[in-house]
Amino acid sequence: MKTKAKLVAESVRLKQWSQQIRECQNCPVGLTKNDWCWLQGITKANHYYRLRRGRQAVLNYTAEEN
């Protein structure tokens, strides 16, 4: 079982990552994902990891509600 501190830290991370994902999706036309990731100081693999973790968190949340 996760401690309250770990749950809070995970929640903060997911919020930050979801903001980054939204920014990437709204990036200017002509700016590639590679370029956007480079400007953010992350790798493309890290970007997709964060996207996957965010999606998984949403699925876990909806599964808990049902």
Q: Cα separation of 39 and 33, whole Å? A: 10
pTM over 0.85: no
Domain boundaries, the chain: 22-66
DSSP state of 32: -
Q: What is the pLDDT of residues 10-65, one digit of tens each?
A: 999 999 999 999 999 998 899 999 999 999 999 999 999 999 999 998 898 888 77
**What residues have CB less than 8 Å from 14, skipping those under 6 apart?**
53, 54, 57
